[in-house]
Amino acid sequence: MIKSVESDASAVPEQMYSPGADERQLTKRSIVAGCLLGGVISCMNIYMGLKIGWSFGGSLIAAILGFGLFMALGRSLSVLECNITQTSGSAAGTMASAAGLLAAVPAMSLLGFEIPVPGLLLWGLSVAYLGVFFAVPLRRQMIEVDRLRFPTGTATAETILAMFAKAQEAVDKARALLWAGALAGAFTLITYFAPQLEMPPAQWLGVPALAAAAAWGFRIYFGPMLFGAGILIGPRVGASLALGAIVSWGLLGPWVQANGWAPGEVMSYTDGPRGWLLWPGVAIMVSEALTALALNWRTFVRTFRGHRILGSSESGSGRIPTAWWRNGLAAAAVGTIAAAWFLFDIPPHLTLLALVLSFALAAVAVRSTGETDINPVGGMGKVTQLAYGGLAPGSIGTNLMAAAITGAGASQAADMMQDLKTGRLLGASPRRQFIAQLWGIAAGVLFCVPAYLLVTAAYPLGGEQLPAPAAFSWKAMAELLTQGLGSLPPHAEAAVAAGCAFGALLAILRRIPALAPFLPSGLAVGIAFIVQAFYSLVIFFGSLALVAWQRISPSSAKKLSFAIASGLVAGEGLFGIFKAAMTLLGVPTL
């Protein structure tokens, strides 16, 4: 994502590029390249999302690598082919999140519920296709009538045109991304055989105070993925993570243990500080998300008042036929209802209600993304959890998976609209982009589901390798809504209340433009309460590296920071899956 901006239709060009009448667009090679690149990105997002609760879109990475790949092979690539590559790559890359593999599905696993592989594939395909079919009827209003900016989609169009204008610079970016990925991947594989290189034991340092701090997660950790993530997310979010780590693991956790409220081992979820800190962290995240959603009530009004929500103004061969998305939406809905019933025992009428709610909230998420580049998918899921807390008060599974339907619809619809915005600016055919999105979603599921199964088989959820903060957040919310305050550990009510107040205050103060740049991210602070401190600190150090790089060499930072950071994230993410496979195979370490 790029910096949030307000929508200004008059400042958004209708089209940046005029393609030739016979310019190549939907070709086999562009689809294959996008699906393969997006599939790799989806695997990267599985590994990273289960570590820190975040995932990144694949449009820019797919565009840069796709362009660089064809240049390296000596093949000419058209602007519209590059757009198809990024479209299918983006659709595939977002599947880790859209299929619920970072939150709802691992949350169910934490509750002891195992989903069979065919069921997981059916679930992932059904809920992810909901989003893309939701996006099609919303396209006319959001892109053509309101001409919302969709900052990431606009930036992707600008990047594609810049690459064709400065081909060598694009090749340099692709080369930097690949080199960074290769180095991160090599380091990841080496640390399998010598794990001390990744996290040196505290006793190596010979300082008793550092050994004591290590027990609370303040350890030295060399993680290319998290360092690269810090470069991507920037100093505000990085500093928010560091702040959350210091407050939770450095101050609140020791105080709670000393008072006997969480007397167990530090990292115990049952009776230790880690299980206690989970609750105020979740409270901060949920409160900020819901308050921000409530404060944006005008977005709800603009979405549904005085506009023609459904329809398309496209004509001729570029138009997406109404039958395509209507029949596709019906098939995805039937698949979702069947999967929810047979896998999770959710009655069809409750799933149908979730589908209706999903479309309504997807429309809001699309508008919010178009205006601010912020997809409030966390808030959307929590709205559904709150609703189903009353409709199905005794079923944690219904609460989680109904929210997963809403989250998938909102997430995928907004991400797909970014791609359709890119296509609009480049003069692409919506029908051909739609086909590319369908292929990309299928490829993403086929990549990320096996990656999820492999990683979670090798490492326990909630362990040092896979903290799964998003899953613990969703699980905690479901338990609270279905079991009441009895699910809280001793004396945690006050911490939850304080967390709610803090998160709400952040959302309110962020409405003041002069204060907004200096306020911490509630999501980041809350995540820092859940993951061990060293995760947050490495991301923070990555964000500091970006600041230093921008001051030392602004031009090279602007040119290469995204590529190098993406390479670090992708390298460890991809080779981390190989590392998990070696763990399962019992390959001996040194």
Please provide the DSSP assignment of 465-514 as one string: SB--HHHHHHHHHHHHHHHGGGGSPTT-HHHHHHHHHHHHHHHHHTTSTT
Measured in whole angstroms, how far is the alpha carbon of residue 241 from the centre of its chain? 17
| Whole-number Å distance between alpha carbons of 317 and 102 | 38
- Tokens for 365, please give them: 């998420």
Asked if residue 382 lies in contact with residue 481, where contact means CB atoms within 8 angstroms, the answer is no
Contact status, residue 232 vs residue 560, Cβ threshold 8 Å: no
Instruction: Provide the pLDDT for residue 379.
Output: 63
Burial of 586 (0-12, 13-18, 19+ CB in 10 A): exposed
> At residue 267, what are phi and psi to the nearest 5 degrees?
-95, 15
Tokens standing for 376? 């409030």
Nearest Cα to Cα of residue 256 among 234, 281, 277: 277
Name the residue type at position 435.
Answer: I
Q: Which two tokens mark 483?
A: 């079991």
Q: State the average pLDDT for the chain.
A: 85
Does residue 132 surpass a pLDDT of 70?
A: yes
Percent of the chain with pLDDT over 90: 36
Token output for 139: 């396209």
Q: State how far the alpha carbon of 51 is from the alpha carbons of 55, 97, 105, 468, in Å.
A: 10, 13, 15, 6
- pLDDT tens readout for residues 3-16: 333 334 444 567 78
Cβ pair 45, 229 in contact under 8 A: no
Identify the pLDDT of residue 9.
40
- Between CA 429 and CA 15 the distance in angstroms is 13
- Position 106 scores a pLDDT of 94
- Distance, in Å, from the CA atom of 370 to the CA atom of 311, rounded to the nearest integer, reads 18
| Integer-rounded Cα radius of gyration of the chain | 23
How many other C-beta atoms lie within 10 A of the C-beta of residue 8?
11
Predicted confidence (pLDDT) per residue in 511-569, tens digit: 898 988 889 988 889 889 988 999 999 999 999 999 999 999 999 998 899 889 989 99
- Check if the beta carbon of residue 135 is closer than 8 Å to that of residue 412: yes
The model's pTM: 0.84
- pLDDT (tens digit, 9 = 90+) per residue, 82-107? 999 999 999 999 999 888 899 889 99
Tell me which residue of 302, 278, 478, 487 sits closest to 386, measured CA to CA: 478
User: Are the C-beta atoms of 350 and 126 separated by less than 8 Å?
Assistant: no
| Residue 13 pLDDT | 60
Q: How far is residue 366's CA from residue 375's CA, in Å, rounded to a whole number?
A: 7
Q: Of 51-60, 115-124, 138-147, give the range with the top mean pLDDT.
A: 115-124
Cα torsion 91, 93, 95, 100: sign: negative
pLDDT for residue 456: 94
Output the six-digit token pair for 322. Answer: 């109404």
- Whether the Cβ atoms of residue 245 and residue 528 lie closer than 8 Å to each other: yes
User: What is the rounded CA–CA span in Å between residue 451 and residue 45?
Assistant: 10
Which residues are 466's β-sheet partners? 461
pLDDT in tens, 412-453: 888 888 899 999 999 999 999 999 999 999 999 999 999 999
**pLDDT beyond 60 at 123:** yes
360-410 residue pLDDT tens: 778 877 877 777 666 666 666 667 777 776 666 667 888 888 888 888 887
260: how many CB neighbours lie within 10 A of its CB?
Answer: 9
Least confident span in 92-106, 113-127, 245-259, 288-302? 288-302
Helix (H, G, I), strand (E, B) or coil at 461: strand
The answer to whether the CB of 101 falls within 8 A of the CB of 449 is yes
Phi-psi region of 180 (alpha: psi -120 to 50; beta: other; left: phi over 0): alpha
Higher local confidence (pLDDT), 310 or 192:
192
Closest CA to 302 of 349, 372, 353: 372
Report pLDDT for 371: 75
Q: Please classify residue 85 by burial: count the beta carbons closer than 10 Å to its beta carbon, then call 0-12 exposed, 13-18 middle and 19+ buried.
A: buried
- State whether the Cα torsion 548-552-554-558 is positive or negative: negative
The pLDDT value given to residue 227: 94
pLDDT recorded at residue 299: 65
Token reading at 480:
């609270």
DSSP 67-79: HHHHHHTT----H
Environment class of residue 390 by beta-carbon count within 10 Å: exposed (0-12), middle (13-18) or buried (19+)?
Answer: exposed
pLDDT at 378: 63
Chain segment 156-173, per-residue pLDDT in tens: 888 898 888 888 888 888
- How far is Cα 106 from Cα 347, in angstroms, rounded to an integer? 22
How many angstroms separate the CA atoms of 277 and 144, rounded? 46
The predicted-structure confidence for 305-364, as pLDDT tens digits, reads as follows 655 555 444 445 577 888 888 899 999 999 999 999 999 888 998 899 888 888 877 887
H helix and E strand count, the chain:
23, 0
Asked if 102 and 109 count as a contact pair (C-beta separation under 8 A), the reply is no
Q: Is the pLDDT higher at 82 or at 464?
A: 82
> What distance in Å separates the CA atoms of residue 454 and residue 38, rounded to the nearest whole number?
18
pLDDT at 141 over 80: no
Mean pLDDT of 484-510: 88
Q: Of 74, 66, 71, nearest to 31 (Cα)?
A: 66
